[in-house]
Amino acid sequence: MTTTMRVAMVTSRFSPLVGGIETHVAEVSRRLAQRGVAVSVFTTDLGGQLPQQERRDEVEINRFPAWPSSGDYYVSLPLIRALRSRRFDVVHVQGIHTLLPPMVLGAMQQMSVPTVLTFHTGGHSSPIRTAIRGAQWRSLRGLMRRTDELIGVCEFEIDRFSRLLKVPRSRFRLIRNGSEPLPSGTPVEPGLEGDPLILSVGRLERYKGHQRVIRSMPALLRTRPGARLVVVGTGPYEEMLRKLVRELGLTAAVSFTSYGPERRASLGALMRASDVVVLMSEYEAHPVVVMEALALGKPVVVAQTSGLAELTRFQLVTSVELGISAELLASTMLSIVRSPRPTNGDQPKLSSWDDCANELLSTYAAATGQPARC
Average pLDDT over residues 331-356: 82
Cite the residue boundaries of each domain of the chain with CATH code 3.40.50.2000: 6-178+353-368, 197-346
Would you state the pLDDT for residue 71?
78
The CATH-assigned architecture of domain 6-178+353-368 is: 3-Layer(aba) Sandwich (3.40)
Percent of the chain whose pLDDT exceeds 70: 95
Average pLDDT, the chain: 92
Q: Please tell me the predicted confidence (pLDDT) of residue 1.
A: 39
Select the more confidently predicted residue: 137 or 60.
60
Indicate if the pLDDT at residue 202 is higher than 90: yes
Q: How many CB atoms lie within 10 A of CB 348?
A: 12
Confidence grade of residue 316 (pLDDT, cut at 50, 70, 90) = confident
pLDDT in tens, 146-158: 999 999 999 999 9
Q: What is the pLDDT of residues 324-337, one digit of tens each?
A: 999 999 999 999 99
Q: What is the pLDDT of residues 67-83, one digit of tens each?
A: 998 878 999 999 999 99
Give per-residue pLDDT as tens, 176-198: 999 888 988 789 989 999 999 99
Indicate the fold that domain 197-346 takes in CATH.
Rossmann fold (3.40.50)
- Predicted confidence at residue 132, as pLDDT, reads 64
Q: Supply the pLDDT for residue 374.
A: 44
Q: 60 burial class (0-12, 13-18, 19+ CB within 10 angstroms)?
A: middle
- pLDDT for res 350: 86
Does residue 269 surpass a pLDDT of 50? yes
d(CA 182, CA 253): 25
Please name the amino acid found at residue 261. P
Comparing CA positions, the residue from 61, 82, 88 lying closest to residue 5 is 88
> What are the tens digits of pLDDT across the range 215-228?
999 999 999 999 99
Q: Which residues pair with 109 in a beta bridge?
A: none
Q: Evaluate if residue 373 carries a pLDDT over 60.
A: no
Dist CA 217 CA 225 (whole Å): 10
The pLDDT of residue 184 is 81
CA–CA gap between residue 213 and residue 254 (Å, rounded) = 10
Residue 126 has pLDDT above 90, yes or no: no
**pLDDT for position 5:** 95
- What's the average model confidence in pLDDT over 233-262? 96
Mean pLDDT of 140-146: 94
pLDDT at 346: 55
pLDDT bin (cut points 50, 70, 90) of residue 7 is very high
